[in-house]
Structure 1
Amino acid sequence: MTSNVKFRSSVAVLAILGGMAGPWAAAQETSDNEGRLDTVVVTAQRRAESVQKAALSIEVLGEDQLERRGVTEPADLTKLTPSITVAQNGVYPQTIIRGAGDNTANGLAPTAVSYSVDGVVTGQALGVSQNFYDLERVEILKGPQGTLYGRNATGGAVNLITKRPSQEFEGYLTGEYGNFDNKRLTGALNIPLSNTLAIRGAFNLVDRDGYLSDGTDDDVRQSARLQALWQPNEVFNLRVMGDYSHTGGKGGGAVLFPRQPGTDEWDALSHPINNEAITSANFGLHVPFLSDSYMDLDQWDIMAEANIELGDFATLTLIPGYRDIKLDHRTYNFGLRATTDPQTHEQTTFEARLSNQTDRLKWVLGAYYYKENTYFWWDVRALAEPNFITNFNVLNEIKSKNESQAVFGEATYSLTDRFRVIGGLRYTQDEIRKGGSVTDTAVIPAPGSPYIQSGKLEFDDVTWKAGLEFDVSDQSFLYLTASKGYKSGGFFYAPDEGETNSFDPETLHALEFGLRNRFFDNTLQVNIEAFYWEYEDQQVTAVGYTDLGAVAYVTRNAGKAAPRGGSIDVVWKASPDDTLGFAVNYTRARYDEFMIDFPADLAGLLRTGPLCDVGGVMTNEAGNSVLPVDCSGAPLQRTPEWSGTANYEHVFDLGSAGDLRANVNATWATSRYLSSDFYVPVSKTDGYTVFNADLTYTPADSPWSLTLYGRNLTDEAVYQGGIADAVNGFGGPDFPTFYESSINPPLTYGVRATVDF
């Protein structure tokens, strides 16, 4: 199906259903019994406020919507809002918002979208999936968050807010079973131990077979969380939280582009037909994809949050956090087998804030400290038969240490009762060290010689935010903001020595406008946004020369881009039993400048699409012969020009028998490139429309409910990200270009039962 056909289908969905899954999710959760839309409270700006009065681009996904749509990891967020795309690369979620994001694939690569759990940043995105349970909400902040969130939030931030202990004895237990032998048991128990102390425990157990033919893309997790909240008086409270999780199974997998005859969309790279196709296209040389992937990830965290009222002056908030991750896994990517045993991350964070708000002034001042120690042993090897690279085996023993510290402040001042100004600054210092060695048997001069990894990088930057707020009326709010975000530079690992293999920071400047409205006695919500961004020195990973002339996947600062666009979100509570709405997003994201140097010695392997021009051989700054590839004007990866969501819900009143809630929703997007690998045509995927439905029965005056659900009802293949095969092209220009991609789940269905107590 072509992208135009799918786009027309998407428009039809909007016309028929007229609903949405973004702000609708939270609005639906908090709608009252009189059929009005209630206030949705967020804390994205370090204070509690209505989302309709928050001067930032934000989507809020409520607890009920997260559960009903099966959101259990970052990649699932795309099910609710295509303004954020998350591709799963092995254990790493690669997140992009409006064209700004990253291709994180290892423990050294910094992220461009910051994930946090209850205010504690997760420096390694591989550990965030384990926290998607017993959540109150998820806040998706679009665009640079350089003042309050700091480094590595150029694309935005995703805040996971867990349910806090309360003074009510309550809990729930949910059991679920579905196809792919999906078994899930989750629950929570909240116990007030006294009028000043409460605890809350929660757990999540998941065991599901893989979606792909070799068992990859499975889900095997066990997680538990315990919190305690102590509030001895009105001026002090302390919350302490600890959690542990384990992830097993095979882990993430990938499929082959173009799809081969005799296979379906979810046949993995290791499928015999796929293996044979790649072998035939490369004169019999093949790095086979096997089915021995595995995942063994352990993580535990502890954090605390103390709030102290300092009279009328301010509230002091202290948030220390500690995270420990240990990962052993094997995956196939880039045509190579990679085994990590082990990879460890030790993260310590501390944030201190002073804040206050009066009728005229809202302000926050703070300081932040981040430290992470990383170690991994990484064995990358090729298994080609017959071959000239049988001995190819790169052994990486890498140690890195990241330290970051910052001071920040932001204030909103009321010039009149309806007009306010916003100002904020943040100063950040980063220090990144690396050590260890790389032994590469495939490079000259001496096979097997270790390349000593050592070096230190230092960066600093000032990021800021300025803006205006205006209350057009009691139910209409307008904002205009300008801001800057910063993502630190760093190292990539490759067979070079010293302080080589580094890249500089990237920055993003943003201008954003928003108008949020409620009409007709809080039954109709219409929110409009527009944005213009300038993206400079974007960090891009591609095949190239390292500084000492070795061929590797290198990360460079490749170019400039200017994403711009807008969105409209509508929610209409047509009656106490009917809710409709729609959301449409437009993003035009093109590179103004995008230059990548490709090794001239590998010219026979270079494949480009019509969006890129290849220049003549030239010498780069390191003295290597390269082919300059100019992809200026090409779109940013994984960013559809048009996307949206649709939703309709009706509640059937069954009288004394209870009620039946029916929901139908859809998510759609137009075509997009899955990566910026020289824009080979096969990396462009068609548009899609995904339909979902669920039906929930709740007996009258009963603590239990039963839900039947179906997701991706038309079995649509939705691809999220990928990369060209590393051995692609050995067969010459007359052979096909192969591409490996992650893929969303096929049709899934099941039954879920919940008991509240």
Structure 2
Amino acid sequence: MIDHKLRSVLVGASLAALVAATPAVAGTAADVPADEEAQPGEIIVTAQKREQRLQDVPISLAVVSGNTLADRSIQSFEQLAPLIPNLMISKSVASNLISLRGIGSGTGSPSLDQSVVLFIDGIYAGNARQFVAPFLDIERLEVLRGPQGALVGRNTSAGAINIVTRKPGKEFGGYVNADYNFLYDGPTLEGGVDVPLSESFAIRAVGKYADLGGYIHNVTVGKDQPSRREISGRITAVLDSGPVRMTAKYEHADVKGEGSPVQPVAPAAGQYFDYIKDSRLLTGPEFDNLKSDNAALQFDVDLGGPTLVLISGYSAFNQVQRVDADFYARDLSFSDFDQKFEQLSQEIRLVSEAGQTIEYVLGAYYSEADLLEQRTTATLFAPASSSYRSFDQDSRVYSIYGQLTYNLGDRFKVNGSLRYTNERKQAVYRRYTGAQAATDRIGTLAATIIDELQEGRVDPALSLQFTPNSDAMFYLSYGKGSKSGGFQGAISNAAPFSFQFAPERSESYEVGTKLTLPGIGYVNLAAFHTTYKGLQVSVALPSPDGLTAPFFTGNAPEARVIGAEAELFLRPVNGFEINGSLAWLPTAKYIGFTNGPCYVGQTPNGTQPGSCNLDGVRLGYASKYSGSFTFTYIQPAGSDLEVRASLSPIFQGPSIREFSADPQLHQDSWLKLDARIALAQADGNWELALVGRNLTNRRTLGFGSSGGLANTFLSPTARLNVIDPPRAISVQARYRF
């Protein structure tokens, strides 16, 4: 367990610093140097743990600004993902599915480490439930594609998402945003204020409230589901006193949801892929509630050239969820998916001054985390059965890392990075059965598994950069990534011989160019070839009796992804902008996976009894092509007003929305259109807007799985689906002061 005294010290220190004094995070955006003219669309990022221009970073990198999130009324990662080609995030039964370039951790145990890791102001967040926290006052969001283990952080075998929140301004001011969504029949209110208390000390306080209905009508209970109510707030303080900057941050979020987006689809039994479901629970409504707390304390110390950065982080959440486990109107079963999580982390790094012949980043990281996962399953038909499982995992991680950059004159640059990570996990699993196991979480102890793993991993990276002139940069990179092994979690069929699964390793080659078009914008291109060894695959496997479909995680021998990506920003004339992103993924397949999982109804043909041969089969959630564009036009309307209009086509190629290649979970290619029109004061003080999302009203599948009880009692061909939202219209009002 985490030392609660240590936790109290960290949280207390952060709160005290908020009241008394506290830093500017090393992840804030920097101004363009005064002696250089800012180019259209120029962006500062911190993908390599120092402030750099996007055009100078040798990584396939997509950036979404906080203003874009607000403009498009994006409330969650599931809504964000279509804007980033090759990124897919879908809501499943127990957790979010996060996939990048066709690689993801699946929706098995919520305790699984993700292959795509979230960093919030530099604090590691590797649990899928940490992707549920609401977007609040974000400055920008950076998506780093491909293995990033050498410098960015552990477990980033497929990539990383870096969120940078806004910091206090030097002048008093604030904002109020109001949004009413007619599809969800509810408002979202957000506001914040900057309060400078002296020349060197300022506080920013922000808050958000949302009360949104659902987009699927549950005819059994007469409600639109899943509904969502959230209250969140953050206070950030910055003290800049010469050579030392301190930043303290504390935030709290309370998210309550009723109902589930999961529905069985079985046309032969009258269950269709639509926006109507008929599920219910005798115990009351389905719910999914999350409370989270995050605190960070950072010091940036100017050592007369190099900068010493110290970051202390605390992250915790408590999630309780109950679902109708048969997912339709019969009272056959219910399940709980509960988690309690706490993490403490400490990072120290030394960052050299930029522009030197030799630049460096040297750092060390330590974290400890405790996760308690509790699941129940109750079957209410004869013979009735009930089980309660607990999974308590304690983990300790330390790593050391460094990057050296050698500038060979003005044109050539060599970057070498290396990270060593040592991780230890201890887990205790218990399963109880009996009449009251699911409701009261007591019963007869049926199984106990105690396991431990400890592993050390080395992730290197090397890149070469060639800059023939100030408007072009070419790069070639090689890197390895890794992801720790783990345990099955609180699944119903855990057994000692299969409780532990192996680490995941990745090796990637990438070549790219970043081209600046003076006075117009930029075009960035990248091509990649990545191989995964021991790819962790998590799928729902039907039980022998056909009554359940518990998730199980194993390792595929190998997977390979090959493709290309493009990012562009163009302002060909004043008042007109094009912002676009494209991805092409011709190869994304399993290699040598001859004993993979079978989907429901598939005849086993694998090398082990009951398995299926997935060698050469395309990975799930891996569209061959995808893209997103936004065309924006701004027209003056009088002396101090302007009309802002944008049209955003988003498209994806076909894919299987599950990892075992189930043809019933095939999603055809699709095109959706978003649009926005606004009347605003030219200086940005106020704005009124009308926003439309998925104006083509295209029905698409976000997540799919085997039907579990629905296969037995509804139809053998039933599947569990999550349908994406239909057309949504909202109105927005903003005021800045």
The question of a shared fold, defined as TM-score above 0.5 by the shorter chain, is answered with yes
The answer to whether residue 676 in structure 2 is matched with residue 682 in structure 1 is no
Task: Say if 1:708 and 1:265 are closer, same or farther in 2 by CA, change over 3 A.
Answer: farther
User: Residue 193 of structure 1 aligns with which residue?
Assistant: 197
Whether 1:354 and 2:336 are equivalent positions in the alignment is no
Aligned partner of 1:39 in structure 2 is: 42
Q: 1:731 to 1:122 in 2, by over 3 A?
A: closer
How far has the Cα of 1:200 moved from its partner? 0.3
User: Partners of 2:108 and 2:100 in 1: how far apart?
Assistant: 18
User: Residues 607, 413 of structure 1: CA spacing in aligned structure 2 closer, same or farther, 3 A cutoff?
Assistant: same
Distance 1:361 1:369 in 2: 27
User: Does 1:482 find its partner at 2:456?
Assistant: no
* Partner SS for 2:225: coil
8 Å contact kept, 1:247–1:298: yes
CA contact (8 A) 1:206 1:221 kept: yes
Aligned to 1:325: 317
Partner in structure 1 of residue 390 of structure 2: 397
- SS of 1:514's equivalent? strand
* Structure 2 residue corresponding to 1:176, chosen from 179, 196, 201: 179
SS at 1:82 equivalent:
coil
**Contact persistence 2:216–2:277 (CA under 8 A):** no
Q: Secondary structure at the match of 1:299?
A: strand
Q: How does 1:130-279 map to 2 (within 5 A)?
A: 130-179=133-182, 180-214=184-218, 215-233=224-242, 235-250=243-258, 252-258=260-266, 265-267=273-275, 269-270=277-278
Deviation readout 1:458-479 (Å, 9 max, x if unpaired): 1211011111011022111111
Cross-structure match for 1:756? 736
Partner of residue 12, structure 1: none
CA deviations on 1:404-461 (whole Å, 9 max, x unpaired) are 111111121112221011111111111111114112579xxxx954211311111211
Equivalent of residue 647 in structure 1, options 630, 642, 650: 630
Shift of residue 254 of structure 1?
1.5
Shift of 1:581: 5.0
Distance 1:545 1:371, change over 3 A: farther
Q: Pick closer, same or farther for the CA change 1:731–1:342 going to 2, 3 Å.
A: closer
For 2:487 and 2:401, the matched residues in 1 are separated by: 26
Task: Give, in angstroms, the shift of residue 379 of structure 1.
Answer: 1.1
Shift of 1:257: 3.5
Structure 1 pair 544–266 and aligned structure 2 pair: CA distance change class (3 A)? closer
Where does residue 590 of structure 1 map in the other structure?
589
The one of 424, 446, 449 aligned to 2:417: 424
Aligned-pair CA distance for 1:569: 3.0
Kindly tell me: are residues 657 and 266 of structure 1, through their superposed partners in 2, closer, same or farther at Cα, counting changes over 3 Å? farther
Partner deviation per Cα, 1:676-715 (whole Å, 9 max, x = no partner)? 23x2211111111110100111135572110111111021
- Asked if 2 retains the 8 angstrom alpha-carbon contact of 1:308 and 1:315, the reply is yes
Q: Does 1:578 align with 2:576?
A: yes
TM-score, normalised relative to structure 2: 0.87
More deviation in 149-158 or 489-498?
489-498
The one-letter code sitting in structure 1 at the alignment partner of 2:373 is F
Whether contact under 8 Å (2:521, 2:569) holds in the other structure is: yes
RMSD: 2.8
2:8 corresponding residue in structure 1 = none
Shift of 1:130: 2.3
Counterpart check, 1:115 vs 2:118:
yes
State whether structure 2 residue 58 is matched by structure 1 residue 61: no
Q: Which residue of 1 aligns with 2:86?
A: 83
Partner of 1:463: 459
Task: Note the residue ranges of structure 1 that are not aligned, 5 or more in a row.
Answer: 1-25, 273-287, 600-604, 619-625
Partner of 2:221: none
Tell me the residue number matched to 1:694.
Answer: 676
- Structure 1 701/644 Cα, relative in aligned 2: closer, same or farther at 3 Å? closer
Aligned-partner SS, 1:607: coil
Q: Deviations over 1:54-105 (max 9, x none)?
A: 1111100012211112222211222312320001124622111101111144
Q: Note the C-alpha offset of 1:578.
A: 1.1
1:647-675 Cα offsets, whole Å, 9 max, x none, are 21111111225100000011100110001
1:97 and 2:100 are equivalent in the alignment = yes
CA 334–428 in structure 1, closer or farther in 2 if over 3 Å, else same: farther
Please name the residue that 1:622 is paired with: none
Partner of 1:607: 601
AA partner of residue 514 (structure 1) = G
Q: State how far apart, in whole Å, the 1-side matches of 2:447 and 2:415 are.
A: 50
* Cα distance, 1:271 vs structure 2: 5.3
Q: For the Cα contact (< 8 Å) 1:211–1:266, is it kept in 2? A: no
Q: Which moved more, 1:736-745 or 1:483-492?
A: 736-745
1:368 counterpart residue number: 365
1:732-747 map, 5 Å: 736-747=716-727
Give per-residue Cα distances to partners, 1:138-193, cap 9 Å, x unaligned: 00000111112332211100111000112121210011112121210001101110
Comparing 510-519 and 390-399, the one that deviates more? 390-399
Mapped pair 1:125 → 2:119: no
Closer, same or farther: CA 700–669 of 1 in aligned 2, 3 Å: closer
Preserved contact between residue 36 and residue 573 of structure 1 (Cα < 8 Å): no
Q: Give, as a single letter, the amino acid of the residue that structure 2 aligns with 1:647.
A: T
Give CA deviations for 1:534-557 in whole Å, capped at 9, x if unaligned.
0111111235699xxx99532111
CA distance 1:251–1:535, shift in 2 (3 Å): farther
Provide closer, same or farther for how the CA distance between residues 730 and 252 of structure 1 changes in structure 2, counting only shifts above 3 A: closer
- Worse overlay, 158-167 or 69-78: 69-78
Counterpart in 1 of 2:515? 517
Residue in 2 that maps onto 1:378: 375
Q: What is the TM-score when the length of structure 1 is the normalising length?
A: 0.84
In 2, the alpha carbon distance for the partners of 1:144 and 1:334 equals 38
> Matched residue of 2:261: which SS?
coil
